[in-house]
Amino acid sequence: MEVMGASVDSAQDNDIAGTGKHEANVSELDGFKHRVDEILMKVDQLEQRVNGVEQFYLNASKKQVNTLKGSSVVKDKDKERQIPSLKKQQLDASRREAAATKRMQELMRQFGTILRQITQHKWAWPFMQPVDVKGLGLDDYYEVIDKPMDFSTIKNQMEAKDGTGYKNVREICADVRLVFKNAMKYNAEKSDVHVMAKTLLEKFEERWLQLLPKVTEEEKRRDEEESVAQMDMQLAQEAAYAKLARDISNELYEVDLHLEELREMVVRKCRKISTEDKRNIGTALSLLSPEDLLKALEIVAQNNPSFQSTAEEINLDMDAQSESTLWRLKFFVKDALEVQGKTSLSTGADNNNTNNSNKNKNNHSNSNQKVQNNKRKREICDAIAISAKKRSKKPHDRITENIVKGDAEFHMNSERAFS
């Protein structure tokens, strides 16, 4: 009885130990999953930032400033040292705008002096207020005049504080001319109002010509300042986005390293691939379709830079492959063969009806088999060539590819391989 009791206790201890180990494994697996989820979330955030940078450069390429074509090429880091920040650019732009507004206000003040001289003329009274169309019985006035104008309306708009006023003196000048031209257009040439309007318009044009050089100079200065400001702002944006692009590239590279480290940690926790497993993988590879075989070879090439082929035949040494590669191959061929099996079952009924005719074609099929073998060899070589090109990329250039191919497998495969 004592021996039996000891055996029961030992079995219970083993069960408890097994349960504890299983729970520890599950907990550790959950930890790995959580870390992968964090990496994927980080990659999603970086992808959004990458899209923003790409959109900026796409827009910038469509808006190249002609004056930059003759400028010397400056490296991004040098640009950042030479070009003020965007915040400073915006501050400088605000200051320039304030100074330009002040100068324009001075021009408007001088224009106001000209306007007072015109409105104080003894013949200005017909133009001081809007035309009383109804009182004067001018039924066709609005058919002749598209935009009525008078000096009281001009004065009110000059004094407006709600942002609806004139922005520059040329706008005021245009309305003053409109006052007189409306009168000349509606009234007969020899009428008093027509003559008064024509006379005042001539006097206004004389005084306007005296102010015009200052207006032209200010407009030219304003255009030059805006052109320089736009160029500086564009250069500042380019420098800022260049720095952002480098930062994103560095972060992606760190994510790639972290992902590789995490993948290796998972592989170390998995049981080792046995010799029998390796042999089964090799057998399964020979059963894959040409398309799936290409994908399997890409898996090998990703983690084995020495995997190359210069001949028609490929010698795949299973013992030379990493545990990570072997596990990925194992799960890949298993899934691929399952899909092929389902496809075969769906077409099996149709094949039974054609068995007799197929017997007569065996000799022909054997000859075609050689052709298929050669085709598969060429496809293998093509796959390795593609893999070699991928290996030549810098690590951070393969981030997205690694995330898509590696992490999706990690989530699925770690559950099956972890022990």
Provide mean pLDDT across the span 241-245: 85
What is the dihedral sign for C-alpha 212, 215, 220, 221?
A: positive
Question: Is the pLDDT at 403 greater than 50, yes or no?
Answer: no
Lowest mean pLDDT among 26-30, 210-214, 344-348: 344-348
Q: What is the pLDDT of residue 340?
A: 86
- In this prediction, residues 245-273 reach a mean pLDDT of 82
Question: What's the CA gap between 126 and 184, in Å, rounded?
Answer: 12
What pLDDT digit, counting tens, does each position of 135-154 carry? 999 999 999 999 999 999 99
pLDDT tens for 286-342 read: 898 888 888 888 888 887 777 764 445 677 888 888 888 888 889 999 999 998 888
pLDDT digits (tens, 9 = 90+) for 79-97: 445 455 667 767 777 888 8
- How far apart CA 120 and CA 122 sit, in angstroms, is 6
pLDDT > 90? residue 185: yes
Q: 93-114 pLDDT, tens per residue?
A: 788 888 888 888 899 999 999 9
pLDDT value of residue 3: 46
Average pLDDT of the chain, as a whole number: 76
Q: With 50 as the cut, is the pLDDT of residue 130 above it?
A: yes
What mean pLDDT do residues 51-58 have?
83
Lowest model confidence (mean pLDDT) among 28-42, 64-78, 346-360? 64-78
pLDDT at site 47: 85
DSSP structure class, residue 28: H
pLDDT tops 80 at residue 405: no
SS (H, E, C) 126-193: HHCCCCCCCCCCCCCHHHHCCCCCCHHHHHHHHCCCCCCCCCCHHHHHHHHHHHHHHHHHHCCCCCHH
Q: Which residues contact 77 (CB under 8 A, 6 or more apart)?
A: none
Say yes or no to pLDDT of 48 above 70.
Answer: yes
Question: At 249, is the pLDDT very low, low, confident or very high (cuts 50, 70, 90)?
Answer: confident
Give the integer Cα–Cα distance in Å for 256 and 364. Answer: 51
**Structure confidence at residue 347 (pLDDT):** 62
